[in-house]
């Protein structure tokens, strides 16, 4: 099977135009059909393929080159170097209002857009009511588009896609515009489109939509491919790197070393140190505390999500446990979380040495833990849930593949 889209060594440089000399050099390069060698490099050496029926998310920070890449693939602009091969019909929803004439009504623009997409006059007439119904903008359909809000323009553009059904649908943050009802309707239509064999290339900052609609993801950073592969792995790596967390993997508070304090801490699985686990795997925590006398210290332990949301906290005194003495001044606490129900994400495991009375927190030791897995559920933990509780039938909450996946 040949790819629907093949991107080979694509780079894009925009010429410098801040000075007369730079403008002249750019003009000479253009007239002599020479590739630009100086300017703002937006993309560099991008390579990937999309086959019919696949769904690819392109993620990255603002300015990473996502929109530029979509414009190159859709034919709106040309790459500086490299080649894009497209073997099918593309439907692109990129810039708001692109392809629509502001002086014409919504109805007139729907007819023109459908004609440009390849529908004949009879098909356009047959599908017009369907497009108007999907857009659902009321009497505005007979108003000039220049009077439309951004959300109404998106409704108009998406309604054309629903009847033309391109072989490849390219969208750039289209689901971020419009009200929730319309976003839900678009998401449902895309899901059905993919189930029917359509191919999707989606740019979005919403990791929920990325994971829901796409099987693979391409992470761009500074115009280069940083990671490409399974959507869950790439999206989680992206979220991990961009979490609001100005901490090191391991942090030891500068506590009074002459008093109760933590000497060592390990996150373990089957006796081996780990920094990442799968959701619902066992997690063991070993903490060694130092005591200035022969009394065993207490321990406080907590889990915090990377954005600062507290997940769980507990104290050794609540369980009436004593640590294992290693010598007169060192004591080991061992804690197990069996089948820990954390959802995929990045967390901090925090421990605090306490005095034997369990009154004072003496210091803090912190380690980062990454929980991996395929789940689109939201929050921090996976809770037991019943659907259709009135029937008494319990349905366990499990990660569910999107409907277009095999």
pLDDT at residue 103, rounded to an integer: 92
Given a contact cutoff of 8 angstroms between Cβ atoms, the answer to whether 332 and 373 are in contact is: no
Comparison of pLDDT for 392 and 247, the residue scoring more: 392
pLDDT at residue 224, rounded to an integer: 94
pLDDT at residue 37, rounded to an integer: 61
Task: Report the alpha-carbon distance of residue 100 to residue 348 in Å, rounded.
Answer: 50
pLDDT at residue 181, rounded to an integer: 79
pLDDT at residue 167, rounded to an integer: 92
Whether CATH 1.10.10.10 fits 250-372: no
Region(s) of the chain under CATH 3.40.50.300: 50-241
* Residue showing tokens 């609540």: 318
The second-level CATH assignment, the architecture, of 50-241 is: 3-Layer(aba) Sandwich (3.40)
b or e along 1-18 (b: 16 or more beta carbons within 10 Å of the residue's beta carbon)? eebbbbbeebbbbebeee
- Rounded mean pLDDT of the chain? 84
Q: How many CB atoms within 10 Å of residue 136? A: 14
Q: Looking at residues 133-140, what average pLDDT do you find?
A: 91
Computed on alpha carbons and rounded to an integer, the radius of gyration of the chain in Å comes to 28
pLDDT at residue 405, rounded to an integer: 43
The per-residue DSSP string of 213-279 comes to H-SEEEEEETTEEEEEEEHHHHHHHHHHHTSS----SEEE----TTSSEEEEEEEEETTEE-SEEET
- Is 388 buried (19+), middle (13-18) or exposed (0-12) by CB count in 10 A? exposed
- Which whole-number Å values give the CA distances from 21 to 18, 31, 288, 294, 364, in the listed order? 9, 15, 67, 79, 59
Comparison of pLDDT for 93 and 200, the residue scoring more: 200
What does the angle CA 133 – CA 200 – CA 372 come to, to the nearest 5 degrees?
A: 120
pLDDT at residue 349, rounded to an integer: 94
Given a contact cutoff of 8 angstroms between Cβ atoms, the answer to whether 317 and 358 are in contact is: yes
Q: Does an H or E element contain 349, and which? A: strand 345-354
pLDDT digits (tens, 9 = 90+) for 175-184: 666 667 787 7
pLDDT digits (tens, 9 = 90+) for 288-342: 999 998 889 999 999 999 888 899 999 998 888 889 999 989 999 999 999 999 9
Looking at the DSSP assignment, which residues form a beta bridge with residue 65?
none
Looking at the DSSP assignment, which residues form a beta bridge with residue 5?
50, 86
Comparison of pLDDT for 29 and 393, the residue scoring more: 29
| pLDDT grade for 98, boundaries at 50, 70 and 90 | low
Q: Looking at residues 193-202, what average pLDDT do you find?
A: 92
Which runs of E-coded beta strand occur in 51-125? 55-59, 81-86, 90-93
Looking at the DSSP assignment, which residues form a beta bridge with residue 372?
278
**What are 264-273's contacts with CB under 8 Å, separation 24+?**
264/288, 265/349, 265/351, 265/365, 265/367, 267/349, 267/367, 267/369
% of the chain beyond a pLDDT of 90: 44
Cα end-to-end distance, the chain, whole Å? 18
DSSP one-letter code for 34:
P
Task: Report the alpha-carbon distance of residue 234 to residue 71 in Å, rounded.
Answer: 23
Does residue 247 surpass a pLDDT of 50?
no
Report the candidate in 382, 406, 378 with the shortest Cα–Cα distance to residue 396: 382
pLDDT at residue 250, rounded to an integer: 47
* pTM, 2 dp: 0.64
pLDDT digits (tens, 9 = 90+) for 250-262: 455 556 678 899 9
pLDDT at residue 399, rounded to an integer: 44
Region(s) of the chain under CATH 2.70.50.60: 250-372
Q: Does an H or E element contain 299, and which? A: strand 298-305
């Amino acid at each position: 099977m040949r790819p629907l889209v093949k991107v080979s060594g694509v780079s894009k440089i925009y010429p410098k135009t801040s000075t007369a000399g730079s403008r002249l050099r750019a003009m000479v390069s253009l007239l002599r059909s020479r590739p630009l060698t100086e300017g703002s490099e937006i993309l560099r050496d991008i390579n990937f393929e999309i086959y019919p029926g696949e769904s690819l998310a392109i993620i990255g920070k603002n300015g990473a080159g996502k929109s530029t890449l979509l414009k190159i693939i859709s034919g709106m602009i040309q790459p500086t170097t490299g080649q894009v091969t497209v073997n099918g019909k593309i439907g692109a929803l990129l810039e708001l209002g692109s392809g629509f004439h502001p002086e014409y009504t919504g109805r007139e623009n729907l007819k023109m857009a459908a004609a440009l997409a390849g529908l004949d006059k009879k098909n356009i007439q047959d599908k017009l009511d369907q497009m108007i119904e999907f857009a659902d903008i009321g009497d505005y359909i007979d108003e000039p588009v220049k009077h439309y809000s951004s959300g109404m323009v998106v409704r108009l553009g998406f309604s054309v896609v629903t009847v033309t059904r391109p072989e490849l649908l390219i969208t750039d943050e289209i689901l971020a515009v419009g009200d929730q009802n319309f976003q839900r309707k678009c998401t449902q239509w895309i899901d059905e489109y993919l189930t029917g064999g359509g191919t999707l290339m989606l740019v979005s900052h919403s990791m929920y939509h990325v994971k829901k609609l796409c099987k693979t993801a391409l992470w761009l950073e500074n115009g280069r491919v940083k990671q490409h592969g399974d959507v869950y792995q790439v999206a989680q790596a992206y979220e991990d790197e961009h979490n609001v967390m100005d901490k090191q993997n391991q942090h030891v508070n500068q506590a009074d070393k002459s008093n109760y304090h933590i000497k060592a801490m390990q996150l373990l699985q089957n006796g081996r140190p780990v920094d990442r686990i799968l959701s619902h795997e066992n997690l063991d925590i070993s903490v060694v505390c130092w005591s200035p006398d022969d009394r065993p210290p207490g321990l406080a332990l907590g889990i915090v999500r990377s954005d600062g949301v507290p997940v769980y906290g507990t104290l050794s005194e609540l369980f009436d446990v004593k640590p294992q003495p290693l010598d007169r001044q060192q004591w080991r606490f061992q804690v197990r979380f069996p089948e820990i129900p954390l959802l995929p994400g990045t967390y901090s495991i925090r421990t605090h040495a306490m005095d034997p009375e369990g009154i004072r927190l003496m210091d803090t030791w912190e380690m980062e833990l990454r929980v991996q897995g395929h789940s689109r559920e939201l929050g921090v933990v996976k809770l037991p849930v019943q659907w259709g509780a009135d029937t008494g039938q319990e349905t366990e909450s499990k990660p569910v593949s999107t409907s277009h996946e095999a």
